[in-house]
Chains A and B, each alone.
Chain A
Amino acid sequence: DIVMTQSPLSLPVTPGEPASISCRSSQSLLYSNGQNYLNWYLQKPGQSPRLLIYLGSNRASGVPDRFSGSGSGTDFTLKISRVEAEDVGFYYCMQALQTPLTFGQGTRLEIK
């Protein structure tokens, strides 16, 4: 199984400041077609996870442009350019290369 490792696990951020979350996979998520099969999800308190980023860097519909995804192979990053209060919750990376589909442990973003 592909192991996904996120850091940090807790991220206190002042509103208006940037934030960054790292995700590493135990094997490359870069497929022969040039796509990186890495997704990012946000789970707000009391809600189901919601897709933020797919294929490593594509924002899902309705996701604000302050969210961006980057990286390739085994190292990926989710960046929030200016954190807002509504961004609190748990952020998860997930590999979409092969089954079993696996998630990172989650990063809790909180407002200072």
Chain B
Amino acid sequence: QTQLQQSGPGLVKPSQTLSLTCAISGDSVSSNSVAWNWIRQSPSRGLEWLGRTYYLSKWNYDYATSVKSRITINSDTSRNQFSLQLNSVTPDDTAVYYCARWAHQDRHFDLWGRGTLVTVSS
């Protein structure tokens, strides 16, 4: 059974970097049939897609315009996981962050992590 296990701090200070990891079991981060995504949810923004990484002959990255200057998504093949880094956070980045798997063929999220509440506060 494929699962996504999220980890990372639940509290980040303003101006610092938010870092989360999503460990994959039952699938491969290098699979060429899926993409690995980060999505967040807050009362003010609703569900907001942040970005993704996927391997098709090479590693590819897509980011939402709203966070493009601050976001990095990396993949770690040795640990079979991917990560999110969001720099220079503000209280507006407070949200539940989800990792999710995207199926390329039918274009949908078919597997989600359980979510991590990240609060940005001093």
Residues of chain B within 8 A (CB-CB) of A37 are 107
| Further 19 A-B residue pairs, CB within 8 A, beyond A39-B109, A54-B106 | A48-B112, A48-B114, A49-B109, A51-B109, A51-B110, A54-B108, A55-B106, A55-B107, A58-B106, A94-B109, A99-B49, A99-B52, A99-B64, A100-B49, A100-B66, A101-B49, A102-B49, A103-B49, A105-B46
Docked Cα-Cα span, A39 to B39, in Å, equals 15
Docked Cα-Cα span, A50 to B110, in Å, equals 8
Main secondary structure of the interface of B (DSSP, over half): strand
What 0/1 pattern do residues 45 to 81 of A give for CB contact below 8 A with B? 0001111001100101000000000000000000000
> Would A92 and B47 be within 8 Å (CB), given that A51-B109, A54-B107, A55-B107 are in contact?
yes
Q: Is A48 in contact with B113, judged by CB distance below 8 angstroms?
A: yes
Q: Is A100 in contact with B107, judged by CB distance below 8 angstroms?
A: no
Residues of chain A within 8 A (CB-CB) of B49 are 99-103
> Would A100 and B47 be within 8 Å (CB), given that A39-B108, A48-B112, A58-B106 are in contact?
no
Nearest first, the 5 A-B pairs at minimum CB distance are: A48-B112, A96-B107, A54-B108, A103-B47, A101-B49
Chain B residues with a Cβ under 8 A of chain A: 46-49, 52, 62, 64-66, 98, 106-110, 112-115
User: What interface size band does chain A fall in?
Assistant: 20 to 34
